[in-house]
Homo-oligomer: A and B are copies of this chain.
Amino acid sequence: MISGEGPRGLSMKDVAAPSCGPDELRVGVKASALNRADLLQTLGLYPAPAGVPSDIPGLEYAGEVLEVGARVTRWKKGDRVMGLVAGGAWAEQLVTHEREAIAMPEGLEFSRAAAIPEAFITSFDALALQGQLTAGTQVLIHAVASGVGTAALQLCALFGARPIGTGRNAAKLERATHLGLRDTVLVNAEQPHFADRVKALTSGRGVDLVLDLVGGDWLPQTLDAMAPQGTLMLVGLVAGASAEVPLRTVLGKRLTVIGTTLRARPLEEKIAVARSFEQLLVPHFKTTRLAPVIDRVVPIVEAPAALERLAANDSFGKTVLTW
């Protein structure tokens, strides 16, 4: 349960099981994973949307169907599912609309499947569904060592696109190269100016598409690193929620900036994304062209320490919680 006092204020509590509507599944959660939204929520900074458990964090899950509603057609008891929820996944049970649940890739363990939904659906939605990712696209991925970043670089490889990844930690960028990322740009106090290096890696042209998890004071340089008519997908604000934006660059290069978030979308949009993801991308987890990148798997009772590690940017890929 969330106390609002940060990760250390979290505690385990017995609560009533959620009730399962006629179009819903009750899922026995076997694993979940950490997201920055959980961290913010424990600090009282990112309340859950209406209709979602406000006091239980957790935005993604892998588990087993325990019960199906009267009108459910896609699933039966015992099916292995994964997916996104707007909150409440750090619990033994959750309910979700049957069309939001996604079939787990065959042969994958729960603790690996739980690392898929938020990272891969966020990057799939931002890069492919909204950002028109395709073969040859030059893509800049900020914070490439994060869960979303490591998923994004795999999507770039799958789509034949050309990713460049940034990060502030040389060791983590090195690990990203083992996932097939060729071009990395280290950004730190000695080398704060990444735009020129990104342009050098793209023959001076800049990138067509940016997956921006950082925002803040990186934004002017990010815009500078973009090619004419490029698109910036703003999905996170780790570097700050405000930026001094050079509008002449936006206008002169005819750039597009799109803010996006999954959590607060209406049901029909969440379903549409889930269905596209299941159809187009889940098969690739079987062939291992896509694979969850897992920093560590810890028991749910260690969630507070794991959140603090996330806050310190010490992880590479996802931190999974198990029951």
Contact = CB atoms under 8 A, between A and B. Distances in A.
A259 interface: yes
B261 A252 contact: yes
A17 interface: no
Contacts of A235: 251
A4 interface: no
Contacts of A219: 245, 247
Nearest to A265: B254
B241 A243 contact: no
A178 interface: no
A95 interface: no
Nearest to A256: B258
A259 B253 contact: yes
B261 A254 contact: yes
A225 to B, nearest CB: 15
A244 interface: yes
A245 B257 CA distance: 12
Contacts of A241: 246-248
A273 B54 CA distance: 50
Interface in A201-250: 215-216, 219, 234-237, 240-250
Interface centre among A216, A247, A251, A255 (most CB of B within 10 A): A247
A264 interface: yes
A198 to B, nearest CB: 19
A260 interface: yes
A259 B264 contact: no
A264 B248 CA distance: 13
A191 B260 CA distance: 32
Given A242-B244, A243-B244, A243-B245, A251 B260 contact: yes
B248 A237 contact: yes
Given A256-B257, A256-B258, A257-B257, A234 B246 contact: no
Nearest to A245: B245
A253 B237 CA distance: 14
A187 B117 CA distance: 46
A136 B235 CA distance: 29
Q: Which 6 A-B pairs have CB atoms at the shortest separation, nearest pair first?
A: A250-B259, A251-B259, A257-B257, A241-B248, A245-B245, A215-B247
9 contacts: A219-B245, A234-B251, A235-B251, A236-B251, A237-B248, A243-B245, A249-B259, A252-B259, A253-B259
Given A234-B250, A243-B245, A254-B258, 5 more contacts: A237-B248, A243-B244, A254-B259, A254-B260, A257-B257
